Amino acid sequence: MFSGFPGPGLIGQIAASEMAQQLKLTEVAYLKSSLLPPMAVFIRGVLRFPIRIYANDTQNIFVTVSDVPVPSRALYHVGGKLVEWASEKGIDELVCLEGIPTDDKSEPIKICGVAEPEVLEQLKMNDVQCHNAGYVAGVSGAVLNECLERKIKGLCLLVPAAPKVPDPQSAAVLLEKVNAIYGLTINVSALLAQIGLFKSQMKDVAESVRKVAESDSEDRRMYA
């Protein structure tokens, strides 16, 4: 299962949405909670649940897409319910897709990761940098903590991203690494070709994420 929630550069949301679309996944579940902002989400005019879970026909690939920022009071609830559902479905690995907020991205953009011991070697073999110490906050932090208590391998792939605006370029780099690790064939050329349009369409979501982050001062979503 791949998990994408709004955060720096909207990396998780952009990457997870692109995966669900290109892999032609079907919505199989949704998550709702009174702790989440009362927002109605629509895509091309059609109403959708704000946090959706998609799957392929054989149900060996799942993708969680969230179109709403999750406030700090709901982090444990959302993370716990997501991992609980994944455990019930027999999912054995949960991959969080995230951005590291930075105003100075160096080239080439490097992916870093954190994982449980049995997954670290797999990441290193795919040229993913692993930091010695640090922390992951937000929904991904809650999800990784829940994975430690269950028989689900938890890991997080992180890419440097613009902190206040959508960053489809970094999301494309992250998706290329997902392709390499998991043998997928997600085409990022279309995403890169529509960078200007994508930033325009996502600017309202980015503004919502910024406001939630400012109101939840204890949840800075900073990473090592």
| Structure confidence by residue, pLDDT tens digits, 129-144 | 887 777 888 999 999 9
Structural domain of 38? 2-215
Number of domains forming the structure of the chain: 1
Residue 10, domain CATH:
3.40.50.10900
Residue 169 located in a structural domain: yes
What are the tens digits of pLDDT across the range 197-208? 655 555 555 555
Assigned token pair, 24: 């032609």
Is residue 191's pLDDT more than 90?
Answer: no
Residue 218: what pLDDT? 45
* Residue 224 pLDDT class (50, 70, 90 cuts): very low
Residue 223 located in a structural domain: no
Q: What is the per-residue burial (b if ≥16 Cβ within 10 Å, else e) of 163-197?
A: beebbbbbbbbbbebbeebeeeebebeebeeeeee
Q: What is the per-residue burial (b if ≥16 Cβ within 10 Å, else e) of 65-98?
A: bbbbbbbbebbebbbebbbebbbeeebebbbbbb
* Residue 69 pLDDT class (50, 70, 90 cuts): confident
Which of the residue ranges 26-30, 104-108, 118-122, 217-221 has the most confident prediction, judged by mean pLDDT?
Answer: 26-30
Please answer whether residues 126 and 181 qualify as being in contact, where contact means their C-beta atoms are separated by less than 8 angstroms: yes
Residue 32 located in a structural domain: yes
Among 175, 172, 168, smallest CA distance to 203 is for: 168
Taking residues 161-170, what's their average pLDDT? 87
Q: Percentage of the chain surpassing pLDDT 90?
A: 52
Residue 221 located in a structural domain: no
Residue 106 located in a structural domain: yes
What is the overall mean pLDDT for the chain? 85
* Residue 223 pLDDT class (50, 70, 90 cuts): very low
Q: What's the angle, vertex CA 101, arms to CA 99 and CA 102, rounded to 5?
A: 125
Residue 28 located in a structural domain: yes
The per-type count for the chain, helices as H runs and strands as E runs, is: 7, 10
Residue 66 located in a structural domain: yes
Residue 222 located in a structural domain: no
